[in-house]
Structures are given as structure tokens and as C-alpha cells.
Amino acid sequence: MKKVIATANAPKAIGPYSQAIEAGNMLFISGQIPVDPATGKVVEGGISAQTEQSLKNIKGILEEAGYTFDNIVKCTCFLSTMDDFAAMNEVYAKYFTANPPARAAFAVQKLPMGVLVEIEAIAVK
């Protein structure tokens, strides 16, 4: 069975998808962009602030489902330019201090709402 996970601590979906789906002992978190769930607006401050907000959104979803960052086994990071990789990585590293998950990072042509970063994750209990 699959269970839809929804929380006010992450932005509402801007399309026909769920914030996350739990299937058995796995949690599949949709790509999180740097939208402040309280305002519905993209955070200002460049790649560092946007990475921080994307990860805060992931945290809200993890907590709603009863998971933590330690449960994450795979992340995918989408960047508007690889020029932002080092700054994104610096913020990302604060959330994964020991035994970080597997990860891929890509530069893509465009991201929703013109953001600089989007991060998706898979977690396992």
C-alpha cells in the first residue's frame, strides 16, 4: 500500500503530485524547491538560502512521516547552473554530517518558478 504524506511545513504541490509517498518502509520525497511554505514565495538570498529552504522543506516532510535525515539513502539535486555546486554543497553538508546518502547532482535548463535548486530524496526505515 502507498500512503500520501502531506504537511503544512513544506510548500503545497504546484501540480498533480504528492509532497511524498510512503510505500512500506520507504519514503519518496518529491523535488523540493525553495518556497517558504508560510508565504508561498521563493526565498531570496541566492543559492545558499535556496538550498537551505529546500532542505527545510524536506525536513518538514520527513518529520510528518516519522523519518529523519539519517533515514535518507539517496538524494538528487537539480541546479540551474553547476557554478552553484560548491555553495549548494556547503549547505547540503550541514544536513548530512555522518554517513551521507548516495547522491547525484545535475545542471538543468530550467527549474519551476525560476529557482536555482530543487532537491528530491528517498528515505528508508
As a whole number of angstroms, the distance between CA 37 and CA 112 comes to 15
The pLDDT of residue 80? 98
As a whole number of angstroms, the distance between CA 56 and CA 45 comes to 15
The pLDDT of residue 95? 97
As a whole number of angstroms, the distance between CA 90 and CA 19 comes to 25
The residues of the chain scoring below 70 in pLDDT are none
As a whole number of angstroms, the distance between CA 110 and CA 32 comes to 14
Domains of the chain: 2-124 (3.30.1330.40)
The dihedral over CA atoms of 33, 104, 3, 18, expressed in degrees to the nearest 10, equals: 30
